[in-house]
Structure 1
Amino acid sequence: MTSNLDLTIVVPTYNLGHYLPETLKSIQQQTIDFELWLIDDASTDGTAQTVADFVKGIPNFHATGFNDHRGIGAARN
């Protein structure tokens, strides 16, 4: 997919628990157009569902994840 946006934000997630809602709120308040990728690293605390729900209906926001924990480096890549 080709995008005309100048900025892509990649956020690795893993068991973020109570930190995640504030992080997502901060991202959503940005004032420039950007593409967002939330990459879940096989969280066990509901983080994956939270990010999936967050991106619904926002064309430039995407969520994906791993079935097994691979570490932050794999999530960033």
Structure 2
Amino acid sequence: MKNIEALIDDGGEITVGRIAGIDCAATAADGHNALAMLVRRDGEALNALLKRLDKAIGRYYDTGETTDEINPP
């Protein structure tokens, strides 16, 4: 999970747990911006959620596009 590692090495953070009434979510932030906010899917393993988070962080690094499953448009 190289993108999670790079984010943390650069002073960012990830959070996994209950957020705003959602039973389980994973978020990533760099201190200034939320890069990704994912909702754990029914039956999804924690490892699979973390892999999706890693990919979402990578997408942010590559394109600047954030991922937000918590606050739909």
What is the TM-score with the length of structure 1 in the denominator? 0.29
- Greater per-residue strand proportion: 2
Q: Which has the larger radius of gyration?
A: 1
